[in-house]
Amino acid sequence: MPDTAFRPPITHPAHPAGRGPLIAVDGAHHNFHTAGGRYAPFAALLERDGYQVVPLATPFTDAALAPVRLLVVANALAAANETRWVNPVLPAFTPAEVAAVRRWVEGGGALLLIADHMPFGGAAATLGEAFGFRLANAFALDSAGSDLAPFTRAAGTLADHPVTLGRGPGERVEQVQTFTGQAFPLPAGAAPLLLLPPGSRQLYPDTAWSFSPATRVEPAGGLAQGALLQVGRGRVAVFGEAAMFSAQLAGPARRPVGMNAPAALGNATLLRNLVRWLTTAP
């Protein structure tokens, strides 16, 4: 469930209240994360930073995207996989929708594509491929088969970039926590933000969370779980994990998962820096 009490301090909002660019959060593709659901803390944080955040309940068309400055797509699914997280995983978007998003980004739009572990990476694969990203229908884990360690500048897994450095010391990000997810190779021209350390692995089960000795395993060290790309007059950010930008309470113990987690020291700042970069003209 969303942690509605999560309200990190914002000393210097990016924009006056309600005066910032329009951000549309996809809700038309059986999304596991929506602005009114698991991504409510995501929307609330950006609204407090001055942005206008609205749900987008229609397919992606030129007309639907025209007024939008930033399109956020988080864990979209095809109808056939909404409750069946098993292979085959079908595309969440039609070819016409993928083409519309590509045109819109080339013309100056900004896309934040978030696709988590299987089946989400597979469902978003065609949209990722439109920008050169080969998303994995897999689970990214460390060498012991556990969640990845926090990404840090000291370990070399958190890259230097205006998104991680911010505008000053108060916006500098030193540590980011993700929660499983998937990872992908960097396309030409992309700038990495989060890089998996040596020894990391990707597992490709036929059913989500169902692993066996027969499950295919591939090395994942050096793959990215967050990256940025300039496309025409627009910008694209791709992340292979969704909970990192949520704030959730999980299970009977109400364990914090997301920006509210103890190890997610820079997640909220990273999100604010990221959205400011995406909505700034190149």
Write the DSSP string, the chain: -B-TT-----SS-SSSTT-S-EEEEE-SS--SS-TTTTTHHHHHHHHHTT-EEEEE-S---HHHHTT-SEEEEES---GGGSS--BSSPPPSS-HHHHHHHHHHHHTT-EEEEE--TTTHHHHTHHHHHTTT----SSEEE-TTSSPPPPEETTTT-B--SHHHH-SSGGG---EE---S---BPPPTTPEEEEEPPTT-EEEE-SBTTB--TTSEEEE-TT-EEEEEEEETTEEEEEES-SGGG-EEEETTTTEEEETTSTT-TTHHHHHHHHHHHHTS--
pTM over 0.95, yes/no: yes
Q: What is the pLDDT of residue 12?
A: 92
Strand partners, 258: 247
In 3D space, the residue among 259, 211, 218, 276 whose CA is nearest the CA of residue 23 turns out to be 276
Is 82 in contact with 123 (CB distance < 8 Å)?
no
User: Rounded to 5 degrees, what are φ and ψ at 111?
Assistant: -120, 130
Q: Is the peptide bond before 88 cis (omega within 30 degrees of 0)?
A: yes
Q: What is the pLDDT of residue 281?
A: 82
Signed CA dihedral, 176, 179, 180, 183: sign only: negative
Q: How far apart are the first and last CA of the chain?
A: 37
Hey, where are the domains in the chain? 22-278
Q: What is the pLDDT of residue 232?
A: 97
Is 45 in contact with 20 (CB distance < 8 Å)?
no
- Cα–chain-centroid distance for residue 51? 18
Question: Which CATH code for domain 22-278?
Answer: 3.40.50.880
Distance CA 26, CA 193 (A): 23
pLDDT tens, position by position, 157-175: 999 999 999 998 899 999 9
* Residue ranges in the chain modelled with pLDDT below 50: none
Q: What is the pLDDT of residue 282?
A: 78
Cβ atoms within 10 Å of 101's Cβ, excluding its own? 25
Q: Is the peptide bond before 119 cis (omega within 30 degrees of 0)?
A: yes
Q: What is the pLDDT of residue 82?
A: 97
pLDDT tens, position by position, 33-90: 999 999 999 999 999 999 999 999 999 999 999 999 999 999 999 999 999 999 999 9
Q: What is the pLDDT of residue 109?
A: 98
Q: What is the pLDDT of residue 243?
A: 97
